[in-house]
Structure 1
């Protein structure tokens, strides 16, 4: 770990295990009723490994989902002993709650977007999406999209370049201050602008942790251009 006493606490700020599953399904452009369990399980475990590497808290529910996916994968490898009508697809164990979750999430998003005068049940759209309203080509980025982006950067780092814990490097708090300083001057920066041309693994991880903390503190928002895929960091 980058800092032995540093732990990232999600605390309902970021998405849960169902959101990670939805992210992977969308990323692979597959139907929820025809999930390639082996592929999704592999990618799910890869994300989970990254979250544990970063010492992200509250991963218990993610572990439960990983176990469920692994169990479904194992059941699908067993030989069939009856007709297709008699034996239910093992994937339905996850498809049913996933379909229900998507319905609830869609309804929640629709209600969150309503402005109802004189009614305290529904609130106006929060500040968290105000920075997107002037550009319809931007979508808000979550935890798992950020993990994908950071993984791509890490893949470019030489495998021989290991994390040097003895080297004098910037702390998470210092990196947070550095990002805010740039944003106060520019308003927003491209995701790749936060890294030097030849970044070290430790610096990449510290930047990731710093960005998560700034998002939790509602100091920054992250969005991605729908066509170019460019990710930008915006100052709140």
Structure 2
């Protein structure tokens, strides 16, 4: 909050309030118009408004304005009241001083809350540990080594094809074709059996191509691999982008 400079006072507004509370400064000698003008000039000079400081200025200024108006304006004595005007003024002054003290208490409480918040005292420890959730189906036990073992099991069950005599033709199945075939099945059915997928291969080369196609789809995130039990079949599950659409 900017400092106030008056003929009878120079300093922060909090000090002005403190001096008036102690009766060290006559409120009638303080120009509240000059106080407001200097505060507004400081706001225009800084180019920004601190809402907390503005609220504090309004609260203090309102109380000072009330005190000065009661000190300057004549008040008719109430009918049937035998109390002298000086006693009534003292009562009003005490009431306003009480309001100022209450304002100070709230301000100190706000400062203490801000200090506690900055110190992290508003964080409370957890009273109970988080509940333990059962592990869901995932990739536990599914490794590249396990996939390799399944592929070898299929290869061992299928005898090696006899080497043909004459011209050896290139196998028509390519990795790109196998990728497109498996992706199409995942899109239509949502899931596939890895064991059944490699078992339908006609040659060892098709088994190897199918194996690398599954690895490529897994690596690209097009499918997930799941195994319900140890040494069990591995299931290929389509990612959300490949899930079949339902009407």
Normalised by the size of structure 2, how large is the TM-score?
0.37
Larger CA Rg, structure 1 vs 2? 2
TM-score (normalised: structure 1)? 0.38
**Higher RCO (Cα < 8 Å, 6 or more apart):** 1
